[in-house]
């Protein structure tokens, strides 16, 4: 499908399913995964995207994508004069690029903002150059030992992710798993897992009509009351109050 839309800077939140979708358009596109994995092909070159790996699609390049797991990505459309500024050509030389720690923080920040309301043009105009600069800083970073594990947990948080199961997935001992989480994320496997499950549960509470009990199980909590206790401890709120608050914020006129 050819799309004649030509934005300067526009941001979207998207998820992809198992059906491969092909597309091309006159503007460039930056694909920035927030969670899960996406298989992407750009003009015959194939890559797998996850929260540590992004892609740059050149204007008029045929591309297709699909995913077999739960996923969500920020999609930045870049057209007109915006593409003529900044380090785009360097990014196009390696369309599948690593997301380093600084860029990851910028992507996470914009993901949180976009989930609440679309960012204003001025916010996008300030954020995009910072993101491009951090994506093109130095050589690509070596892949995190934990990247595949974290992507799997975010795609299937309801699985019984014990310490042994997490260590087996990475191919290390439990003590080495603790050391990797401490060096890469300054936290423990348990605390990271709880934070991940809470974040996904909050996303579903805010963005879907699924029953709270169903969300609790899907996010990996043993029952609804376990999710409620975790949200009280970490966020000082309950699932019902969190959902109500986000519905009210969406219904207010901008």
Helix locations, 87-219, DSSP H: 88-93, 101-116, 121-135, 147-155, 163-170, 174-185, 189-207, 212-218
Domains 2-135 and 147-251 are alike in CATH topology: no
Residues 20-39 have pLDDT tens digits of: 888 888 888 999 999 988 99
* Cβ pair 52, 144 in contact under 8 A: yes
Intervals of the chain under pLDDT 70: 1-7, 80-87, 89, 137-144, 249-254
Pairing relation of β-strands 28-35 and 9-14? unpaired
pLDDT for the residue 83? 61
Measured distance CA(1)–CA(91) in Å, rounded? 25
For the whole model, what pTM was predicted? 0.54
Domain boundaries, given as residue ranges, for the chain: 2-135, 147-251
The strands making up 45-49's β-sheet, listed across from edge to edge, are 2-3, 21-25, 63-66, 38-42, 45-49
In the sheet that holds 9-14, the strands lie side by side as 9-14, 72-78, 28-35, 53-57, 96-98
- The CATH superfamily assigned to 2-135 is Regulatory protein AraC (2.60.120.280)
Helix (H) or strand (E) holding 41: strand 38-42
Task: Please tell me the predicted confidence (pLDDT) of residue 213.
Answer: 96
Long-range contacts (CB closer than 8 Å, 24 or more residues apart) made by 162-170: 163/189, 163/190, 166/193, 170/145, 170/146
Q: What is the pLDDT of residue 246?
A: 80
Residue with tokens 């105009």: 125
Q: What pLDDT score was predicted for residue 33?
A: 93
In what helix (H) or strand (E) does residue 221 lie, and over which residues does it extend? none
**C-alpha to C-alpha distance for 163 and 149, rounded to whole angstroms:** 12
Second CATH level (architecture) for the domain 147-251: Orthogonal Bundle (1.10)
The pLDDT value recorded for residue 163 is: 95
Neighbouring residues of 48: CB distance < 8 A, sequence distance ≥ 6: 37, 38, 39, 40
pLDDT tens digits along 90-130: 777 778 888 888 888 899 999 988 888 888 888 888 898 88
Residue 224: per-residue pLDDT: 95
Residue 3 has a pLDDT of 43
Measure the CA dihedral 104/108/113/117, to 10°.
100
């Amino acid at each position: 499908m050819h799309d004649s839309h030509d934005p300067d800077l526009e941001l979207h939140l998207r998820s992809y399913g198992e059906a491969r979708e092909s597309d091309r358009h006159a503007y460039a596109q930056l694909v920035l995964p927030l969670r899960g994995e996406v298989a992407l092909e750009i003009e015959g070159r194939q890559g797998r995207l996850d929260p540590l790996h992004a892609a740059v699609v050149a204007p008029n390049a045929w591309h297709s994508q699909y995913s077999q797991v739960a996923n969500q990505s920020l999609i930045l459309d870049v057209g007109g004069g915006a593409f003529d500024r900044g380090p785009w050509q360097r990014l196009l030389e390696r369309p599948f690029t690593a997301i380093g720690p600084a860029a990851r923080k910028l992507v996470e920040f914009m993901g949180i903002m976009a989930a609440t309301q679309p960012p204003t043009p001025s916010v996008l105009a300030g954020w995009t150059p910072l993101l491009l600069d951090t994506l093109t800083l130095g050589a690509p970073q070596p892949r995190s030992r934990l990247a595949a594990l974290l992507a799997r947990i975010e795609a299937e948080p309801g699985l019984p992710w014990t310490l042994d199961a997490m260590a087996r997935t990475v191919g290390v001992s439990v003590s080495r798993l603790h050391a990797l989480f401490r060096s890469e994320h300054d936290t423990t496997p348990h605390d990271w897992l709880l934070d991940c499950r809470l974040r996904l549960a909050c996303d579903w509470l805010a963005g879907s009509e699924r029953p709270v009990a169903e969300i609790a199980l899907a996010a990996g909590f043993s029952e609804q009351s376990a999710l409620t206790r975790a949200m009280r401890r970490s966020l000082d709120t309950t699932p019902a109050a969190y959902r109500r608050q986000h519905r009210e914020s969406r219904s207010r006129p901008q």
